[in-house]
């Protein structure tokens, strides 16, 4: 038998065949046995037992919450942040998370404090999911208030930079050196929605952030990738089933998809060894208006 992928001792091997049979009944261990048998089967929900750590910004709702619960379920040590204390408490209790702290990502000192707590609590940071983000009410470029523009850039771009900067620092300093940063971009990192200049500009900038971190991270074993999501069902997209403004000026309902598929994609990205990286991944509602100009 090959060694377990998580480096742990094989209890079944040590205690004999009866114990080994019981291990087989554990769903997560089953994947390891399948791998051992050289069957190249992958199912994220059957990831091997792990004690890896992940920090998720914006874990109080939507994608961040689903990711926090999904990673915790398969054994990851999870830390989340957000601004809503009641939501932090609820997600922490639901998933048995290690850390859930109030932190506004638009404030660099709060982000630094949050990361200091995570480094102290976890010792080693394996993955950071740079997820926190907001969407602004529709407005034409000529009518957008400067204050709204600033809030969006402060959260979606500056906040993502503050999170990435702390992640980079921690991963560069730790032993073994390195880690993975996954930035949450969007379909809007590629094409705009009408009347969404601040969101579009902030998400296009995330692509630059991802590429720059990927390059700067090479000497330090820091991998950086980006997930670009289109219309998964969260609070942010709740209004879409009622109708979204289209490029032709019409309002039409758009399809959405279950956030569980985003979590599976994140698990795939996060579980890769550091020598491999998903640079960009697009996960979208199959029939949403994106490919084919509408
Ligand atoms: N849903 C989609 O289809 C979709 C598509 C493309 C991209 N995305 C991206 O996915 C990310 C999450 O979106 P979602 O759909 O899950 O929306 P959501 O349900 O509204 O969640 C947004 C999360 O970000 C947090 N957040 C917002 N501003 C923050 C701040 N200043 N400081 C700390 N946390 C903050 C929120 O926490 P608090 O309110 O508690 O602070 C919440 O946990 C965003 O970056 C979004 O642009 C989503």
| Residue owning tokens 């049979």 | 21
pLDDT of 30 strictly over 80: no
* One domain for residues 25 and 87: no
> Smallest Cα–Cα separation from 173: which of 225, 116, 131?
116
Do 158 and 40 lie in a common domain? no
Query: In this predicted structure, what is the pLDDT of residue 265?
Result: 98
State whether 103 and 31 are in the same domain.
no
What ranges make up the beta strands (E) of 140-279? 179-184, 222-230, 244-245, 251-252
pLDDT higher than threshold 60 for residue 94 = yes
Please give the pLDDT value at position 205. Answer: 98
Q: Flag the least confident range among 11-20, 45-54, 162-171, 285-294.
A: 11-20
Q: Report CA(13)–ligand 1 centroid distance (Å).
A: 45
Q: What is the pLDDT of residue 175?
A: 97
| Percent of residues, the chain, with pLDDT higher than 70 | 83
41 within domain boundaries:
yes
Do 111 and 174 have their domain in common? yes
Q: Which of 2-16, 99-113, 227-241 has the lowest mean pLDDT?
A: 2-16
Question: Could you read off the pLDDT of 49-70 as tens digits, one per residue?
Answer: 458 999 999 999 999 999 999 9
The total number of structural domains that make up the chain: 2
- Measured from the CA of 231, which atom of ligand 1 is nearest? 3
- If DSSP codes are grouped into helix, strand and coil, which group holds residue 196? strand
For residues 140 and 165, state if they share a domain.
yes
> Which residues on neighbouring strands pair with residue 257, listed in sequence order?
232
Distance 272 CA to ligand 1 centre (A): 25
- Please check whether residues 136 and 24 belong to one and the same domain: no
Length of the chain: 294
The residue segments making up the domain with residue 38 are 18-49
Together in a domain, 150 and 257: yes
Average pLDDT over residues 112-123: 98
For the stretch 20-29, pLDDT in tens is: 333 333 444 3
CB 60 within 8 A of CB 84: yes
Ligand 1 centroid to Cα of residue 67, in Å, is 12
Instruction: Give the residue whose CA is nearest to atom 36 of ligand 1.
Output: 58
Mean pLDDT computed over every residue of the chain: 87
In ligand 1, which atom is closest to the CA atom of 132?
A: 24
Ligand 1 atom nearest the C-alpha of 156 is: 45
Within a domain: residue 5?
A: no
Q: Which of 31, 49, 67 is the last residue of a domain?
A: 49
Give residue 16's pLDDT band: very low, low, confident or very high (50, 70, 90): very low
Q: Is 178 inside a domain boundary? A: yes
End-to-end CA distance of the chain: 52
Summarised one tens digit per residue, pLDDT across range 191-200 is 999 999 999 9
Specify whether 36 is located in the same domain as 153: no
Q: Which residues contact 91 (CB under 8 A, 6 or more apart)?
A: 59, 60, 65, 68, 69, 80, 97, 100
Contact 181, 162 (CB under 8 A): no
- Residue 293: what pLDDT? 81
Of all protein residues, the one whose alpha carbon is nearest to atom 44 of ligand 1 is: 133
> Nearest residue CA, atom 28 of ligand 1?
133
Kindly state whether residues 61 and 207 are assigned to the same domain.
yes
Which amino acid residue places its CA nearest to atom 45 of ligand 1? Answer: 133
CA–CA separation, 76 and 281 (whole Å)? 22
Provide mean pLDDT across the span 128-154. Answer: 98
Backbone phi, psi, residue 197, to 5°: -65, -40
Q: Which residues line ligand 1 (CB under 6 A)?
A: 57-64, 81-84, 87, 103-106, 131-134, 155, 159, 184, 186, 229, 231-232, 234-237
In a domain, 106, yes or no: yes
Closest to 258 in 3D by CA, of 286, 277, 223, 239: 286
Q: Report the separation in Å between the CA atom of 120 and the middle of ligand 1, taken as the mean of its atom positions.
A: 26
**pTM for this one?**
0.86
Is 292 among the domain residues?
no
CA–centroid distance, 82 to ligand 1, in Å, is: 9
CATH number of the domain within which 141 lies: 3.40.50.720
Strand order in the sheet with 179-184: 99-102, 77-82, 53-57, 127-130, 179-184, 222-230, 280-284
Residues 24 and 164 placed together within one structural domain of the fold = no
Residue 4, CB half-sphere, CA atoms under 13 Å: how many?
18
Mutation test residue for ligand 1: of 56, 57, 58, the one with most atoms within 8 Å of CB: 58
Res 242: pLDDT: 79
Do 188 and 265 reside in the same domain of the chain? yes
Does residue 192 sit within a domain? Answer: yes
Same domain, 44 and 102: no
Would you say residue 2 lies in a domain? no
Distance of CA 10 to the CA centre of its chain: 31
Angle between helices 159-173 and 108-122 (to 10 degrees): 30
Q: In this structure, which residue's CA is closest to atom 1 in ligand 1? A: 232
Torsion angle of alpha carbons 109, 114, 115, 119, nearest 10°?
140
Q: What is the pLDDT of residue 38?
A: 37
Active site residues: 199
Backbone phi, then psi, for 16, in 5-degree steps? 100, 180
- Is 9 within a domain? no
Percent of the chain with pLDDT over 90: 79
Residue pLDDT, tens place only, 228-280: 999 999 988 887 777 999 999 999 999 999 999 999 999 999 999 999 999 99
Atom of ligand 1 nearest to the CA of 237: 1
Sign of CA dihedral 186, 191, 193, 199: positive
**Is pLDDT above 60 for 216?**
yes
């Amino acid at each position: 038998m090959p060694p377990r992928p998580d480096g742990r001792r094989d209890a079944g091997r040590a205690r004999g065949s009866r114990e080994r049979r019981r291990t087989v009944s554990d769903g997560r261990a089953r994947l390891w046995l399948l791998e051992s048998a050289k069957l190249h089967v992958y199912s994220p929900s059957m990831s091997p037992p792990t004690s890896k750590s992940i920090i998720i910004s914006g874990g109080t709702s939507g994608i961040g919450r689903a990711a926090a619960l999904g990673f915790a379920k398969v054994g990851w040590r999870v830390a989340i942040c957000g601004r809503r204390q009641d939501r932090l408490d609820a997600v922490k209790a639901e998933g048995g998370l290690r850390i859930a702290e109030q932190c506004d990502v638009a404030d660099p000192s709060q982000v630094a404090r949050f990361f200091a707590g995570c480094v102290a609590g976890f010792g080693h940071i394996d993955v950071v999911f740079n997820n926190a983000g907001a969407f602004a009410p529709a407005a034409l470029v000529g009518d957008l208030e400067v204050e709204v523009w600033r809030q969006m850039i402060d959260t979606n771009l500056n906040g993502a930079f503050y999170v990435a900067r702390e992640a980079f620092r921690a991963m560069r300093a730790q032993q073994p050196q390195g880690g993975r940063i996954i930035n949450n971009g969007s379909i809007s990192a590629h094409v705009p929605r009408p009347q969404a200049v601040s969101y579009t500009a902030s998400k296009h900038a995330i692509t630059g952030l991802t590429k720059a971190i990927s390059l700067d991270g090479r000497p330090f074993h820091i991998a950086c990738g980006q997930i670009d999501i289109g219309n998964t069902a969260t609070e942010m997209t709740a209004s879409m089933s009622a109708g979204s403004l289209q490029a032709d000026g019409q309002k039409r309902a758009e399809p959405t998809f279950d956030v569980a598929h985003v979590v599976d994609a994140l698990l795939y990205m996060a579980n890769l060894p550091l020598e491999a990286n998903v640079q960009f991944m697009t996960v979208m509602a199959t029939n949403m208006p994106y490919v084919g100009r509408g």
